[in-house]
Structure 1
């Protein structure tokens, strides 16, 4: 009886994996079709990169007398490089669509890879300027988006509140934008990942509990949207698919 149940469970799991794999392939194909229509350089760049890498490995094979050994490796690496290029161009398209829209920074933070504790819109105002809070190995990171003149007081207020409970944990302030001293949306994740690691996972848990006890967002103004944003919902699927495969 137990063996029969195990067999059924394995069959069900195998079927689920096949279905999930089929859905990922469909999403990937849809993402490729959408990106191809918007990005006329996508296919030439992908083909050119693939051909270049294969040519390099063929050249190395001719040089060392092992073409048939290096050619398959060149094809595999060429396909991988072309796919990475595709994923990055999809991501750039998504960020371009999201940039400047209310909630874009919160959306970008929510899509970061790694062990980050993101709380969107812990403070905001009626103009949809907002401050988002991130807890990670660097410490506490406050990310403001909106008008710099309006968001800086919000950041200062939120930093003052956080400083009362985080002790000597570093608190970083970031304003998202394209002006001097600001971080562009498409470079936000990279900038945060470059911050020094100052605390461990246990400390992160403690900080999350303390900061959560401070309460939610500033009651002034309407609630911030929890993410954009790119007007077409399929674009979000494009990014998730590219990130999963990349």
Structure 2
């Protein structure tokens, strides 16, 4: 009975994976029209080289099988890289793109989107890991520097000088980091903190609360409601 259930689950999972791969290919092809030709070319070259080598040394079957497996692996790697590049190209310039990257930065990081924001919708996201605190900002670079400076001072008051605070401005200009390189830059940072220190840092920040949860409500009547927001006068 258990075997039948596992087989049924596998059957329902496979169409889901195939559908996901098909959707990823369609998305990638919109931004990279040559992806199909390039991936197929890589597979054909790898298989052809190993099969030819197999004929030369007298073992075409063994090297043919090996060539097929390596060709499939090579195609998967090339397709994955080009799909990732297409996904970043689609996200670049979109509000919240940096937050989406932080959600996939990997294990060991605790990310919080929109810990600081101004009226112009420039926003700062936060990630905490063994590298310390990383503030990732997206928006206008000139306005972001002021926003980042204020957030870094606040972080220093809360966690103290023993926790390093890094900042990354997402963009393609000078002193900025392209969206597709944000994750790589974060993973290359030195890691001076231990696991318990990371936990303590997260606890302090969680106790402080974030901008979005502590944002004060505007005063006065709600626009568009006229006098409906006012309490009735006592008679």
TM-score (normalizing by structure 1):
0.79
When residues 187 and 74 of structure 1 are mapped into structure 2, their CA distance, relative to the original with a 3 A threshold, is same
SS at match of 1:135: strand
Counterpart of 1:174?
168
Aligned-residue CA RMSD (Å) = 2.3
Counterpart of 2:36?
43
Deviation at 1:63, TM superposition (A): 4.6
Contact 1:126 1:221 in 2 (8 A): no
The counterpart of 2:107, out of the listed 109, 114, 117, is 114
The counterpart of 2:53, out of the listed 52, 56, 60, is 60
When residues 152 and 32 of structure 1 are mapped into structure 2, their CA distance, relative to the original with a 3 A threshold, is same
The counterpart of 1:193, out of the listed 177, 187, 204, is 187
CA distance in structure 2 between the aligned counterparts of 1:18 and 1:135, rounded to whole angstroms:
39
When residues 131 and 64 of structure 1 are mapped into structure 2, their CA distance, relative to the original with a 3 A threshold, is same
Counterpart of 1:235?
none
The counterpart of 2:12, out of the listed 13, 19, 26, is 19
Deviation at 1:105, TM superposition (A): 0.8
The counterpart of 1:135, out of the listed 117, 128, 138, is 128
Q: Deviations over 1:31-72 (max 9, x none)?
A: 223433543211110111111211232243245433221211
CA distance in structure 1 between the aligned counterparts of 2:53 and 2:216, rounded to whole angstroms:
65
Counterpart of 1:233?
none
Query: Are residues 1:70 and 2:63 paired?
Result: yes
Contact 2:28 2:87 in 1 (8 A): no
When residues 48 and 221 of structure 1 are mapped into structure 2, their CA distance, relative to the original with a 3 A threshold, is farther
CA distance in structure 1 between the aligned counterparts of 2:99 and 2:30, rounded to whole angstroms:
28
Deviation at 1:210, TM superposition (A): 0.6
Higher relative contact order, chain-length normalized (CA < 8 Å, sep 6+): 1
The size of the alignment, in residue pairs, is 215
Unaligned runs of 5+ in 1: 1-6, 223-246
Deviation at 1:30, TM superposition (A): 2.5
Decide which structure has the larger Cα Rg and report it: 2
CA distance in structure 2 between the aligned counterparts of 1:17 and 1:88, rounded to whole angstroms:
27
Q: Deviations over 1:120-150 (max 9, x none)?
A: 0100111110111101121111111111111
Counterpart of 1:163?
156
Q: Deviations over 1:73-118 (max 9, x none)?
A: 1111111111221122222122112111221111111122222100
